A and B are shown apart, each in its own frame.
Chain A
Amino acid sequence: MAKARQPKPTNPSPGPEDSDFVEWDLRLYIAGRTPKCIAAFSNLQKLCEEHLAGQYRIEVIDLLENAQLAKGDQILAIPTLVRKLPEPIRKIIGDLSDTERVLVGLDLRARS
């Protein structure tokens, strides 16, 4: 949870030299440390390590601290994972416990 507390980009694997650019830019919206939010974050991390190692960045936004940010990404449900990049924007809501659906939602797996 240490990473989640910092609303800074976390990039577990060093990318190319222009480190700001990543192929997968993900944003996880939470509202406080609720069990659902904690579960979502750990599920997301696990999934990214498995499928997107070295190509992703996760930004965690706690709406209890930055409520105004909810409007920009049209956040309604908590937790919501927003795929900013690659385009188009995708939104995945829920605690991300259904890995298959998360992969579908991220377009990492074809819709059945």
Chain B
Amino acid sequence: MAVAKCASGIAGFDEITGGGFPRGRTSLVCGSAGCGKTQLAMEFIARGARDYNEPGVFMSFEENEEELKSNVRSLGFDLDDLIERKLLAMDYVAVERSEIEETGEYDLEGLFVRLQHAISSVGAKRVALDTIEALFSGLNNQAILRAELRRLFRWLKVQGVTTLITGERGDGTLTRQGIEEYVSDCVITLDHRVTDQLSTRRLRIVKYRGSTHGTNEYPFLITHTGISVLPITSLSLNHAVFNERVSTGVPRLDTMLGGQGYYRGTTILLTGTAGTGKTSLSATFVDAACRRGEKCLYMAFEESQDQIIRNMRSIGVNLQPHVDKGLLKFHASRPTFYGLEMHLLVTHLLVEEQRPAIVVIDPVTNLVSGGSVGDVHAMAMRLVDYLKGRGITTVMTTLTSGGNNLEQSEINISSLIDTWLLVRDIESGGERNRGLYVLKSRGMAHSNQIREFRLTDHGIELLDVYLGPDGVLTGSARLVQEAKAQSDEAEREDGARRRYLEVEAERKALAAQVAALEAKISLQDKEMQALQSQEKAQGQRRVAGREAMAKSRRADVPATAPRLRVAAKNR
């Protein structure tokens, strides 16, 4: 049977422990001074009382009640109110060695009585003892103390309360007095390290009997809402998937991405060298989203809000109305202002507060100055996980320095990315122009073409690039090519017109010839007719002449006349 858990209510902690501390048992939280032990113990009790309706007892050996109350008041816990509502009992146990003389046998029944009294006064389900090791500095007889502590932990188990004890880290041991040997169920260490002048708190579950748990060191933060533990990676890959598409704000870019733009809830990476228009692309996307009425969060690590708004106005993108309407929220901070975990947490908090549909991180690479590349990678992964898990479309820009391989993002997050756009300078003909590629886009038929990318005063324009003998033509080379193409076209049109006219002329000439010939034919027809009638007349005249001759000679007429008539008919 799985161990029953007692939820701490601490963000992230219950996630990595699979539900919280082991219920009805004793857990040890140890760490060096100032690492957050008391805070953790106090939140366990206060959150239990406030949020889980489980009354608790906080027995402190170090700080008195007033100190504890004021410590957590700023975190939103009103301990006086909890005490009044009988949800919390506090007891400050002061052990002052100088006041105490040991004379013979004793036990710690007084402590038991006080604990018992506190537990029964509120019906406590949770107990915190902070820091019980203080007893060792107040009392001399170690043998008695150890025996009594062992008895105390057994007794707590019998009471059925979930107990948290804290202990100071010792030299080579988890706690100074080795009390971890009395606690067998759950041991957690806290740590506060400073690397590169940035401090990071970390939490690790050393042991958790009878339960699976995350084994990593988890960074955690103490913020204005208390402790927040950040799992490095979420334990599973089960983001909700959207089929909905969101426009990039640039119509031709939508066309390049299968005609409709990005998928909702995916992560988009915009890589490019300096000044290639990454922020402009992001702002255009944000502008389009705000016009649709979606909420956006813009995390700026390079420029201030006003600067971005002013600069984007120069390309015809006005973000100010969206800010005024509350659709767009900027969060501008220096990357070195806090550690990475704090950045991540701030993002979490802002996202929880604003619930945006779109988050822009511009640029994610700047965080490298706030941590090592490995840390940034881990953080980016957690961020992507987190935002995806909430169905938020994320745009991250990364700055690639000139010498690097452009198709490699500086913090190696490309594998986390769904859509990757590369904006780069294309240098030719003595000028630099911007080209945009879609390096990858999961789940859509995207264009393999390079587009020239221009920032105009009315927004982003994507233009076809010309392919010339020397490769891709952009900028003025493209304009030259365009002009050449135009003149070629005109020339071609001219030629065609000329040819038409030529043919036309030829045709006309032929037609004229045809008319002349026809006139000739009709002339000849007439000639023929004339000849015919002439012939006929002559024939008649000859016949008439012969007849006259015959008449005059009294010739035998019928003998010759028929033969002549046949000949005339055959003509």
Contacts and interface: CB of A to CB of B under 8 A. Distances in A.
A90 B132 CA distance: 22
A76 B111 contact: yes
Given A70-B117, A74-B94, A76-B95, A93 B102 contact: yes
A95 B106 contact: yes
A96 interface: yes
B237 interface: no
A75 B110 CA distance: 6
Interface string B78-114: 0000000000000101111001111111111111111
B101 A105 contact: yes
Contact of A95 (B94, B99, B104): B104
A94 interface: yes
Contact of B104 (A34, A64, A98): A98
Contacts of A92: 100-103
B39 interface: no
A88 B100 CA distance: 12
Interface string A47-78: 00000000000000001100110110011111
Nearest to A95: B104
B100 A78 contact: no
Contacts of A105: 101, 103
Interface string A20-56: 0000000001010010100110000000000000000
B146 to A, nearest CB: 14
B139 interface: yes
A6 interface: no
A77 B102 CA distance: 10
Interface string A78-112: 11100000001111111111100110110000000
Contacts of B138: 76
A31 B108 CA distance: 10
A70 to B, nearest CB: 5
A97 B103 contact: yes
A75 B113 CA distance: 9
Contact of B105 (A31, A75, A94, A101): A94
Interface residues of A, number: 34
A17 B551 CA distance: 217
B105 A36 contact: yes
Interface residue SS majority, chain B: mixed
Contacts of A89: 99
A67 B114 contact: yes
B305 interface: no
B113 A93 contact: no
B116 interface: yes
A94 B93 contact: no
A32 to B, nearest CB: 8
Nearest to B121: A68
B93 A76 contact: yes
B108 A78 contact: yes
A102 B104 CA distance: 10
Given A36-B107, A75-B110, A77-B107, A67 B116 contact: yes
A92 B99 CA distance: 8
Contacts of A74: 93-96
Contacts of B113: 31, 63-64, 67, 70, 75, 78
B34 to A, nearest CB: 26
B103 A78 contact: no
Interface string B120-163: 00000000000000010011000000000000000000000000
Nearest to B105: A95
Given A78-B108, A79-B106, A91 B114 contact: no
Contacts of A94: 102-106
Interface string B159-176: 000000000000000000
A75 B114 contact: yes
A96 B139 contact: no
A94 B141 CA distance: 11
B117 A102 contact: no
A91 B104 contact: no
Given A89-B99, A102-B103, A78 B109 contact: yes
Nearest to A101: B103
A63 B99 contact: no
Question: Which of A63, A68, A75, A77: most chain B CB closer than 10 A?
Answer: A77
Contacts of B99: 88-91
A48 to B, nearest CB: 14
A78 B110 contact: yes
Contact of B107 (A64, A78, A90, A104): A78
A105 B94 CA distance: 18
Contacts of A95: 103-106
A31 B105 CA distance: 14
Given A68-B117, A74-B94, A77-B139, A102 B101 contact: yes
Given A92-B103, A102-B103, 4 more contacts: A67-B116, A74-B96, A91-B96, A101-B102
15 contacts: A31-B112, A63-B110, A68-B117, A75-B113, A76-B138, A77-B108, A77-B110, A91-B100, A92-B100, A92-B101, A93-B103, A93-B139, A95-B104, A96-B104, A101-B102
Top 4 nearest A-B pairs (CB, nearest first) are A105-B101, A67-B117, A94-B104, A78-B109
